[in-house]
Structure 1
Amino acid sequence: MTKYPKLKEMGVNHPQHIVKYSVNSVDFVDVLRIVYKRPKGSVLPETRTYKFPRLQKSPIGNDGKQKGAMVMDSDPCLRAAVEELKTILAERQEASTMADLILEELRLLEEDIDLRSNYIKDLVRKIKLS
Structure 2
Amino acid sequence: MALTAMGVQNPEQIARFAIYMTDRTDILRIVYDRKKGSILPVSKKFRFAQIKKSTMVDSGTRRTEVLYESAPEFRNAVAELEQLMDAREDSHHVSQLIAEEVHALEEDVASRIDYIKSLVEKL
Q: Same fold (TM over 0.5)?
A: yes
Partner of 2:44: 48
Structure 2: distance between partners of 1:10 and 1:39: 22
Does residue 117 in structure 1 map to residue 120 in structure 2?
no
In 2: Cα distance, 1:50 partner to 1:99 partner? 32
Provide the rounded CA distance (Å) in 1 between the counterparts of 2:95 and 2:83: 18
Residue 7 (structure 2) aligned to one of 11, 24, 28: 11
Q: Which runs of 5+ in 1 are unaligned?
A: none
Contact 1:17 1:36 in 2 (8 A): yes
Q: Aligned pair 1:96/2:88, yes or no?
A: no
Measure the CA separation in 2 of the matches of 1:26 and 1:8: 24
Q: Residue in 2 aligned with 1:27?
A: 23
Aligned pair count reads 123
Q: What RMSD, in angstroms, separates the aligned Cα atoms of the two structures?
A: 2.1
Change (3 A) 1:79 1:126: same
Whether the aligned pair in 1 keeps the contact of 2:58 and 2:64 (CA below 8 Å) is no
Contact 1:18–1:35 under 8 Å retained in 2: yes
Instruction: Name the CA shift for 1:107/1:79 in 2 (closer, same or farther; >3 Å).
Output: same
Aligned-partner residue type, residue 91 of structure 2: A
List structure 1 runs of 4+ shifted beyond 4 angstroms: 61-68
Counterparts of residues 57-96 of structure 1 (less than 5 Å) = 57-60=53-56, 69-96=65-92
TM-score w.r.t. the length of structure 2 is 0.88
Letter of the 1:95 partner, please give it.
S
If the length of structure 1 is used for normalisation, what is the TM-score? 0.83
Q: Which residue of 2 aligns with 1:126?
A: 122
Give yes or no for contact 2:57–2:63 (8 Å, CA) kept in 1. Answer: yes
